[in-house]
Amino acid sequence: MIQGSCHCGAVRWQFDGHPDGATACNCTVCRRYGVLWAYDYEGEGITVSGATRPYMRGEEIEFHFCPVCGCVAYWRARQMDAPGRRRIAVNLRLSEPDAVANIPIDHFDGLNTFTDLPRDGRCVADYWS
């Protein structure tokens, strides 16, 4: 299990298990936030708590941040998928460094091709050194 919280502690999340990778996306939003995402489903592998303010990007996704300290905590899909589940991703930069240091980085080209890119051998700790 990995836990994370915003700077002031008002917003928290929990990721049950250990993510296979942390996604670094270069889309117009994620590159500005500087986030590293770990994905699952709301209420299944990921639980969140605390009041947030969302930024809605189109009809598909909402980014949630702490209204007190401004940290981006997670994004979630605006619609449920066919089995009635909601995709969500937490910002691994809000967790303790040792808990996520060895998670490999996955790259997603959300700017041009909307495709996964090959891993380059780096992990979360490489982004913090």
**CATH code (residue 89):** 2.170.150.70
**Average pLDDT estimate for 69-89:** 94
Per-residue confidence (pLDDT) for residue 9, from 0 to 100: 98
Give me the residue label for tokens 């949630």: 64
User: Which 3 state secondary structure label does DSSP give 62?
Assistant: strand
**Average pLDDT estimate for 93-119:** 95
Per-residue confidence (pLDDT) for residue 73, from 0 to 100: 98
Contacts of 52-57 with C-beta under 8 Å, sequence gap 24+, read 52/11, 55/29, 57/29
pTM: 0.93
Per-residue confidence (pLDDT) for residue 31, from 0 to 100: 93
| Number of neighbouring beta carbons within 10 Å of residue 59 | 7
Residue 73 · residue 11 · CB < 8 Å:
yes
pLDDT grade for 128, boundaries at 50, 70 and 90 = confident
89-125: string of b/e by CB count within 10 Å (b at 16+)?
Answer: bbbbbbbeeebbeebebbbbebeeeeeeeeeeeebbe
Per-residue confidence (pLDDT) for residue 18, from 0 to 100: 93
Instruction: Reply yes or no on whether the pLDDT at 89 is more than 80.
Output: yes
In whole numbers, what is the pLDDT of the chain averaged over residues? 95
Residue 37 · residue 61 · CB < 8 Å:
no
User: Which 3 state secondary structure label does DSSP give 19?
Assistant: coil
Instruction: Reply yes or no on whether the pLDDT at 83 is more than 90.
Output: no
Per-residue confidence (pLDDT) for residue 65, from 0 to 100: 97
Q: How many domains does the chain have?
A: 1
User: Which 3 state secondary structure label does DSSP give 17?
Assistant: coil
Instruction: Answer with the residue of higher pLDDT: 129 or 64.
Output: 64
Parent domain of 79: 2-127
